[in-house]
Each structure stands twice: as C-alpha cells, then as structure tokens.
Structure 1
Amino acid sequence: MRTSTPTVLTLLSTSLLAIALAACQRDADPPAAPVEPAQPDATADVDAAADPFQCPADPGTAPSGELAATRIAAADGDGANGLYEGPVWTGDALYFSDFRFSEGFPSKIRRLTADGRLETAIDPSGSNGLALGRDGALVAATHDRKELSRYDLMDGSRMRIVGEYQGQPFNSPNDLAVSEDGTIWFTDPDFQRGDATGQERTRVYRVGTDGEVTVVDDSIANPNGIALSPSGDTLYVAGGGEQGVLRAYALVDGQAQAGHDLASTTVPDGLAVDCLGNVYLTEHTQRRVRVISPQGEQLATITVDANLTNATFGGPQRRTLYLTGAGAVWSIDLDVAGLPY
C-alpha cells in the first residue's frame, strides 16, 4: 500500500544527503541544554575526514572468534530503570538516547566525549534510534510524538520529518537508516506505543525524498534494528522477538525487493555494519553481538556484562565499536573500520 504525506523540503545536508522533510515545525521552546556543533575529527583517515560516511580504501580485517567489550565507567547509569539506545558517532563524540521505563518513556540525548566526559546534549528528546545527517544534525526515531524528527545540534531545535501513515500516527518509531540520497528507512514496533493510537501492524517503512511513506515489510513482529550496507545496495532489518530473524533486502533503484532471512536470532535489537559489509547484530538478553557476513556466516561474537541494545563504529579512524545497553556503554577496538551509525 502507498500513501503520500504533506511535503515541505528542509535539507539535512548541503551535499549528497538531502532529506525532504514533511510538515516540518520548529519547536517554540528549544531543549534546555543545546550543545555546540561537533567539529570534524582532524585525526581521521583522509577519506573519512572528507566524508564521514565514506569507508577507507583499506577497511581492514573482520574480527573472528570470541571477544569481549569493555564497559566505559564514565557512562555507567541506572540499568534497572532505563536503557541507552541509538548510538551515533560524530566529530569526536558518541551521541546516544537515554530513556527511562517510567510513564511516557522520557528520553534525552547524551554525549560521551572522546576524553570521557558524559554530558546532556538535548533534553527532552523523546528519542530512541539516531542517525546522522551530513550537515551535523541528528535524525531520530522518536516515541514521544510517534514520528521521525530532526535535531539541530547547534541550537537544539527539533523539526518533524514525518509522523503518520494512511492518516494514522505510527506506533513507536525505533531505529532508522539514511541512504545517500536522503531516503529514510525505519522500523516501527509497539514497544513504547503508550496509548491506543497507532498502526494495526508493526512494520518497516520507507520515506522517500518527496515525503511519500511506503511499507517495506509488515511480516516481522516488532521489527527493531535497521542498517544499510556500505554501498547502499542492501537493507538489513532485525526483529521477531524471542525467535527472531536478520533479514536482508536488495535495493534496486531505491526500492526494497523481497527480503530473505540471513540468520535466525534470539531477541534481536540494533545493528551496525563494518566497511567489509559484515553485520553486527546485537542480541538483547543474550548480552552479545554476533558478527555475520553478507552471506550469513557467523564470524565472531562480542560479549558484554548487561542487556544490550545497539552498536555503532566511532573513534578517529572508525575502528572502535561502541555498544549501548542497560545503563552502560561498552567499547572494543577492532581491525576494521565501520559506519558511524
């Protein structure tokens, strides 16, 4: 099924990433704690410094065997009452959502700097998954307003991208990925739905640069993590709960083709992708990451000491894997570069 949303054009980037934002409205009162825009990382690879989404010519070697990530003490929080989610690396800092299990799942965006300082970037944010626009803005899946939002890290302002399908609000947008041309792909489970309004099914959606919203897949119960291959020709989605799947969809002319299951999984959550095309699948209650090749072969496992939510690559050369979970952030240095969200 297809439907159109009202369209206004607000660019997330002055270069390749031009997202057509639907019905954008700037909040009258910006969040209380805006941050200064992140500066380019001068120590990054030449390719990465010129374009934060571009993989280096020599991406490195994939991990293998059984590994363990290390908890970052500065980011320790209350894992019994909330989760860290949606990590994204920009400039010299890791941004992630910090939400509580209390009514409405209140959320804020935190910043963990390279020198180990934990700060509040935007409060409130209502966000879960985060992605990065090339203008330095964050694109967020937000459960508070059941929409996709854009946050400007310079002044903390928020604008709506899209918030409904066929005249009804989404359930609780969870995670998202942005194609090079500005197309947004996102998952809409019902984890933080909060009230009776929403969609009759949980789905994976595509938002075109013209603001049109279409369904990619409605057959995965509570789809969760989502990511793109480095070349942008494959979309990955994880979901399904206790007996879940990692599903791959070929992208042809910007449209997702029929998906095929790449791997079975237990309580899957977020995804990351390295520059070799390997998928880093987090398994929430298993407290581990499984590294899976594009052909579905398991290459490595990375364990942590609490429930796990999501993953991204960061650091000067994008060779540090950052993991978020129940009141914790972990890191592990790898021999391969990866994408920053």
Structure 2
Amino acid sequence: MPRLEGILCAFTMKGEAVPPGSQQRHGLKPLTLVAMIIVAIFSVWFSQIPNAPWSMRYEDDAENFLATQLDWITGAAKKQQKLPPGACFWQQGSLIKGIPTGPSEPNCKFQVRDPEFLEILGSAPELKLVAKTDAHEGGVYHPDNNEFYFSSSRHTVSYTTLVTSSDEKPSAGEQNTEVKKISLSTGEVTTVFPVTDVANGMVLDKDGHLLICQQGQGKKPGYIQRVDVKTLNTSIVADNWFGVPFNSPNDVVVKSDGTIWFTDPVYARAQGFKSKVHVEGQLYRIRQDGVVDAMASNFQRPNGLAFSEDEKRLYLTDTGFLKGEEYDNEMRHHIYVYEVRRDGTLSSRRLLASVGIYDGSAPGLGLPDGIKVDTKGRIYVGSPDGVQVFSRSGKPLGLIALPDVVNLGFAGEKLNQLYFLNDASIHMIELQATGAGLHYASKYKKQ
C-alpha cells in the first residue's frame, strides 16, 4: 500500500517530512501516533469502497452510506456490548438453514438492532403495566391535571349496552367508541364521553383543547371535533372538503402555526359502518380560518402521522395491509416521509420504511399504525409486535415488545414517558428521549 506508507512516513516527532523510502527512525508523540492510526484506518476503509457516491443529494443518504460501511465495526462491537436487563440482540435467520429470525434470547422485551437503541433505553429500562382497560386510539397527554386521553376499541351497540346515564343513546346495532382518560397520578380511569360518533385519533391544540377524529357512521359524515376539557363543550371544526363528506378521519396532529392535519382513510366502509366512499383516502389540512385543503393523496389506507421537531418533515403510515377486518400481503405496510416547504405544502414523498414483524410470525408483515417522533428525529411506531423504533433516516433501531400496540404517546413532566395502547391495557416505559410536537404540553415540560 505505497500511498499509505508515504502518508505514515511523512510524520515525525518534529513534524518534518521524511521521504517514503527512508529507513530513519523517529520517536513519535502520542498525538502523532493517534493521527497515524486514524489515517491508516480510513485509508484501508476508502480502498475497500468502489465508486463511493461522494455527491449526495440528501443528508440521509450520507448517513445510510456511512452506516453501511461501518457495519463490520458495529457487528463486532455488539458481541462485546453489555445489555440492560430484559434486552437482547435481534438476529437475521435463514429459512433454508432453519435458523429462526428474531430475538437471540427468549422472553426478550427489548430487541436491539442498532446500538443507538440502547441510548434510548438507558441502563435499566422497565415496561410497566399502568391499567387494564379497553384502550385503542388517541394517546394524548394533558399536563394541566396530569391526564392521558384515549378512545376505546369499536364495538357494536346491543340493547344491553343501551342502559346508560347518557342523554344521547346510540341505536342498537350501531358502532360506538368511548373517550376516556386516565390519571397518571392515581391510575384511575374515567369515561369522558360514553357515546361518540366512533371517535378515533386525537391531539391537543395549542390552547389545550382536545381535537378528536370522529369517524361518523351511516349517512353521518366524519368530522374533526374540538372539546374544551374543562367544560366538555364541543364544536365541529370541519366535516367536508369542497362539500364532499369526509370518510372516517383516523389520526390528527397540530402544527405550530395552528393548522390541523388529519388522515381520512376508507376504514368506515371497509369495517362495515358506512356504505359509501366519497373520495379515496387523502391527507387534509384545516387552516385557522376553517378552510380545508387536500395536501396529499395516492394512499391505500392513510393512518398515523407526525411532524418532526423542526416541522421540516411529515411522517405518515399507510396501512393498506389491513383492508378492513382482513389482511392482504400485497397491500402497503409502509412509513412515508414528506419534505415540508416554507409555504406549508408538501414535496419529495419517499418510502422511509417497510415494516415487518421482528420474529416473522403471522400475519408476517407489520402494521405501522400510530406514530410519534422524539426531539432527535427518531420515529416510534405502533405495530402488532410492539413499538418499533427507527432512526431519522429510516434505519431500524429496535423493538419494545408488547402484542398489538395500536397507538402511543409521550407524557410526563419531562415528556420522556412513552405510553402504549393495545386494546386491552395501557403500558408505560421511561426513556432517555423527549417527545416532539407536543406544543401545549411543552410549555410545562420540566428540564
């Protein structure tokens, strides 16, 4: 390696150049020795890289490129790395050789695919059961009373369930979900609205009001509802686009400029509580003056969405894989990312991740549903096998294993507690990460 030899021999104790062929010996300072080692490593590294793409269009390409080249380093380091309790490394298996894909140890709660996941978990991660209750969607932290709002799973109303203290009663055979909240101080679960128009995703606006995706049913259109959590007074923010009814609003976020963004898939028809699709699933924005704009389309089932901390990116999950009550492996199970322009419009849609199940079990493909982002740009997605975590560039970092996680949300005084909803319970883990996009709650966050 003549070029490397020349570089190394160019260093002396006094910094004087020596011809590459010289056999003269010199004492080397420690700093010089370190520099030589670094040069040697990078020279070997570069010599192994054919046609390196030095002109990168996106910074994520650079991150992925470097990560690929350093895989041999991290792979060796994994074997020596100390793992926290309950953690293990994920391993790639082989169908032909009969080697299973999945966790390297049984009963592994935290499956590590990249060392960055260990930074998120900390030294002693613990997944705690908070409550056993029907908790499906939402997942919104309200700091005023240290409460966490969510909606129940959908159920068909029978004559038995019609016995309720509510003045508004659904008809037998209709679908219903309830809006609930849990006190994070006492663990007490209370019902806020026992009857809804099939409430689903929710978020707080900048003033601390609750915004709820009401899917509607029958001939009643879906709509975005605003709730004053102190008085429980409600109002409709929007229920149509150019006079066209919404299908079944699914998930919603609020941007710092006060605009409201939500997905509108066709799940109401697919799941049998509406008979008509008015327009294929789109992503909408409600301006502060109430005007509704279609911001993106060409989805199968647009679902969860989240802005990055700086709001320069919008992440969106497409769960076409779940057609209604059935799965279709030919449909999407993807996370997309958009660039947000200065004028608020979207561009440069691209696939961030195609989501699978960590152990390859049925249904075999992931179902990326609810999605949240932390202040370092990492992405947390609810999936049938738990919460999957990705880097900003879409690199899989690891899995917090818990069956059937639908949605999730950051909470707590430091916004570092992640709560999971999986239809039957609420779980929580404290992370070395801080939730992003919580405009109202961030005002009260403790350092």
TM-score, structure 1 normalization: 0.74
Q: Is the counterpart of residue 289 in structure 1 residue 392 in structure 2?
A: no
1:325 to 422, 426, 431: 422
CA contact (8 A) 2:263 2:282 kept: yes
Report the counterpart of residue 13 of structure 1 in structure 2.
none
Q: Is the counterpart of residue 229 in structure 1 residue 287 in structure 2?
A: no
Report the counterpart of residue 152 of structure 1 in structure 2.
228
Residue 271 of structure 1 and its aligned partner are, at CA, apart by 0.5
Q: Per the alignment, do residues 112 and 75 of structure 1 end up closer, same or farther by CA in structure 2, a change over 3 Å counting?
A: farther
The 2-side partners of 1:64 and 1:222 are apart by 35
Q: Is the counterpart of residue 262 in structure 1 residue 352 in structure 2?
A: yes
The 2-side partners of 1:141 and 1:282 are apart by 18
Residue 71 of structure 1 and its aligned partner are, at CA, apart by 2.8
Moved more, 151-160 or 204-213: 204-213
Report the counterpart of residue 25 of structure 1 in structure 2.
none
Residue 233 of structure 1 and its aligned partner are, at CA, apart by 1.5
Report the counterpart of residue 181 of structure 2 in structure 1.
111
Indicate the percent of aligned positions where both proteins have the same amino acid: 28
Report the counterpart of residue 290 of structure 2 in structure 1.
211
Residue 139 of structure 1 and its aligned partner are, at CA, apart by 0.7
More helix per residue? 2
Q: Deviations over 1:281-301 (max 9, x none)?
A: 111xx2211111111111121
CA contact (8 A) 2:374 2:435 kept: yes
Q: What letter matches 1:240 in structure 2?
A: T
2:379 to 258, 279, 282: 279
CA contact (8 A) 2:385 2:401 kept: yes
SS at match of 1:268: coil
Q: Per the alignment, do residues 188 and 88 of structure 1 end up closer, same or farther by CA in structure 2, a change over 3 Å counting?
A: same
Q: Per the alignment, do residues 101 and 191 of structure 1 end up closer, same or farther by CA in structure 2, a change over 3 Å counting?
A: farther
Report the counterpart of residue 132 of structure 2 in structure 1.
75
Q: Is the counterpart of residue 62 in structure 1 residue 152 in structure 2?
A: no
Q: Deviations over 1:120-178 (max 9, x none)?
A: 12332332101002322101111124011101111111110111123221110000111
The 1-side partners of 2:437 and 2:410 are apart by 5
Unaligned runs of 5+ in 2: 1-117, 157-172, 322-331, 356-365, 439-447
Q: Deviations over 1:290-339 (max 9, x none)?
A: 111111111121111x3221111001211110011222211111111113
Report the counterpart of residue 66 of structure 2 in structure 1.
none
Moved more, 204-213 or 315-324: 204-213
Q: Is the counterpart of residue 161 in structure 1 residue 218 in structure 2?
A: no
The 1-side partners of 2:122 and 2:305 are apart by 23
Q: What letter matches 1:137 in structure 2?
A: H
SS at match of 2:348: coil
The 2-side partners of 1:201 and 1:233 are apart by 26
Moved more, 89-98 or 253-262: 253-262
Matches within 5 A, 1:294-309: 294-304=392-402, 306-309=403-406
SS at match of 1:99: coil
CA contact (8 A) 1:75 1:112 kept: no
Q: What letter matches 1:255 in structure 2?
A: T
Q: Is the counterpart of residue 87 in structure 1 residue 136 in structure 2?
A: no
Q: What letter matches 2:381 in structure 1?
A: L
CA contact (8 A) 1:241 1:268 kept: no
SS at match of 2:230: coil
The 2-side partners of 1:219 and 1:237 are apart by 12
Q: What letter matches 2:195 in structure 1?
A: P
SS at match of 1:71: strand
CA contact (8 A) 1:62 1:276 kept: no
Residue 62 of structure 1 and its aligned partner are, at CA, apart by 3.0
Unaligned runs of 5+ in 1: 1-59, 78-82
The 2-side partners of 1:112 and 1:338 are apart by 19
Report the counterpart of residue 249 of structure 1 in structure 2.
338
Report the counterpart of residue 139 of structure 1 in structure 2.
211
CA contact (8 A) 1:128 1:142 kept: yes
Residue 98 of structure 1 and its aligned partner are, at CA, apart by 1.4
The 2-side partners of 1:216 and 1:291 are apart by 26
Give the structure with higher Rg (CA): 2
- Structure 1 runs, 4 residues or longer, greater than 6 Å off: none
CA contact (8 A) 2:126 2:430 kept: no
| Number of aligned residues | 272
The 2-side partners of 1:301 and 1:119 are apart by 31
CA contact (8 A) 2:153 2:423 kept: no
CA contact (8 A) 1:69 1:303 kept: no
1:313 to 410, 414, 430: 410
Residue 240 of structure 1 and its aligned partner are, at CA, apart by 3.3
The 2-side partners of 1:183 and 1:203 are apart by 16
CA contact (8 A) 1:104 1:192 kept: no
More strand per residue? 1
SS at match of 1:220: coil
Report the counterpart of residue 52 of structure 1 in structure 2.
none
SS at match of 1:204: strand
Residue 206 of structure 1 and its aligned partner are, at CA, apart by 1.8
